[in-house]
Amino acid sequence: MRNAAEAGTGVQSVDRALSILEVLARTGEGGVTEIAAELGVHKSTAFRLVATLESHRLVEQTGDRGRYRLGVGILRLAGATTARLDLVQEARPICRQLAADTGETVNVAVLSDGSALYLDQVAGSSALQPHNWVGQHIPLHATSNGKVLLSGLADHELDAALGTLSTYTEHTITRRAKLRDELARVRDQGYALAVDELEVGLTAVAAPVRNAHGDVVASMSVSGPSFRLGAERLDHVVALTVSSAAEVSHRLGWGHR
């Protein structure tokens, strides 16, 4: 199966090495033989590539039986990536404050390749830390962040961005017409909600972050268990989220006459 080899042009061995990273990202872990089969190369070739990746700590062995998985070098590179993004830089202190004020987890996401890419996360003070979403691609129609990001698109862009609207729970919006109505409401009220739409028991609030031109460049969300985000508390959280997102927007140059 010729999968990620679409990047046909380029330096062959580098291309293959990077494909290995993608394979490991997809499968979690794998042995040399398995990887070699996936790429369609000899196992000695795969071994040499993996060894090179390992010397840079981008992959590591899982102790038992010499299987490989992605390593800490990736995280270090990711840290450098987000550290450079001025969006994350500007947003971080405000996210911290928002997380402290609400006690819930705060996320920042942007639109990337038809799904929401989470750039940063600040854990709330509450116990159960949700797993880290950073770097994950999340469906757009079933999350508050996704709705906010979609609400910033023009109609024709919207069609391009949306694939099929998968069902996650019985509250997931799966009809396009209904989604359009929802997006209009989001645009109107300046924030989005998602209650039990991606996962039962999970509630999230998101508000848009705008650049100097007024475009929606990112979305900031607060999410937590639905029982902690009931009706009365939700209003307060919404207000905090909207003003935090507006503050970040200001720092990015929005609203300066």
Q: Please choose which of its own copies, DNA, none residue 26 contacts, taking the beta carbon within 5 to 8 angstroms, the exact cut-off set by kind.
A: its own copies
d(CA 37, CA 77) in angstroms, rounded, equals 28
Q: Please report how close the Cβ of residue 43 comes to DNA at its closest, in angstroms.
A: 5
129 binds, among DNA, its own copies, none (CB under 5 to 8 A by kind): its own copies
Q: Is residue 41 a contact point for DNA (CB under 7 A)?
A: yes
SS3 call for 226:
coil
Half-sphere exposure of residue 234: CA atoms within 13 angstroms, side-chain side: 16
Q: Which DSSP helix (H) or strand (E) runs through 111?
A: strand 105-112
Q: Which stretch binds DNA (CB under 7 A): 46-54, 106-114, 127-135, 243-251?
A: 46-54
Q: Is residue 59 a contact point for DNA (CB under 7 A)?
A: no
| Residue among 15 and 196 whose Cβ is closer to DNA | 15
Q: How far apart are CA 221 and CA 95, in angstroms?
A: 9
- Minimum CB separation of residue 170 from its own copies in Å reads 26
How many angstroms separate the CA atoms of 237 and 85, rounded?
A: 26
Nearest to 191 by CA among 154, 235, 227, 158: 235
Least distance between DNA and beta carbon 113 (Å): 21
Applying CB under 7 A, the site for DNA has a residue count of 25
Site residues (vs DNA, CB under 7 A) = 11-16, 31-34, 41-45, 47-51, 61, 64-67
